[in-house]
Amino acid sequence: MSLLDIALAEKHGNTINSQIKNLILNHGSLERNIGLHINLMNKIPRFHKASGHAFDLLIKKIKQIENRIDQYMEYMLELNLAIPDRAIRLIRLKDLKRIFSDKKNESNDNIISKIEKEKEALNNTLYIAHNKIKKLLLRTKFQLSNLKNEEIESMVDKNRKKNGNINFAAVGRIFGVDPKTVKSEVDRRKLHYLYKSPI
């Protein structure tokens, strides 16, 4: 409701409460006050970081504007005028306080249950990863058994120690298996001649 609304209402013969006239003359329209309220509410985070006297003044001013908006709404209800949606949906200081107090009042049980859920999710992830590793290890073992004797011979000859012995650890790293696995594969295939140095 603005001065224009008052002028139109009086032109049509409707009498407007003098209190609402004074409110509009002194503080502007309801829309203007809602805009001021929203603007000041948006400044809360910046003033809160600084805290002190400026923050207290900001909160005091917001409360004054909220009281003024309530007066507008009371008069509009008395006059059976439609209240704008912006005024109905307006977030007030008490709404902010309730939201933040609800977040602070989260009990330790909720925090513990969240941690338990995260732990369970991590355990599931580890279980899946462990199974994938097992499958990959089995796959490499099968790959080692699929190799031809000549391929194993060439890898062993390329990875000998200085004294001529087989470097099972180096061959195992190439195939992605344990050195004992390489040794057992050489024994299984009866490639005992590889133990002797070619030099």
pLDDT digits (tens, 9 = 90+) for 159-188: 898 888 889 999 888 877 889 988 988 898
Q: Identify the pLDDT of residue 196.
A: 80
Write the pLDDT tens digit of every residue in 81-90: 777 888 888 8
The b/e string for 5-19 (b: 16+ C-beta within 10 A; e otherwise) is ebeeeeeeeeebeee
What DSSP designation does 134 have? H
Question: At residue 111, does pLDDT exceed 70?
Answer: no
**Three-class SS state of 41:** helix
- Which pTM does this prediction carry? 0.45
- CB–CB of 157/166 below 8 Å? no
Alpha carbon separation from 70 to 18, 58, 66, 144 (Å, rounded): 17, 18, 6, 82
Domain ranges of the chain: 3-104, 108-195
Which two tokens mark 169?
A: 């650890």
Question: At residue 134, does pLDDT exceed 60?
Answer: yes
**Three-class SS state of 13:** coil
Write the pLDDT tens digit of every residue in 45-90: 887 776 678 888 888 898 998 898 888 888 778 777 777 888 888 8
Question: At residue 189, does pLDDT exceed 60?
Answer: yes
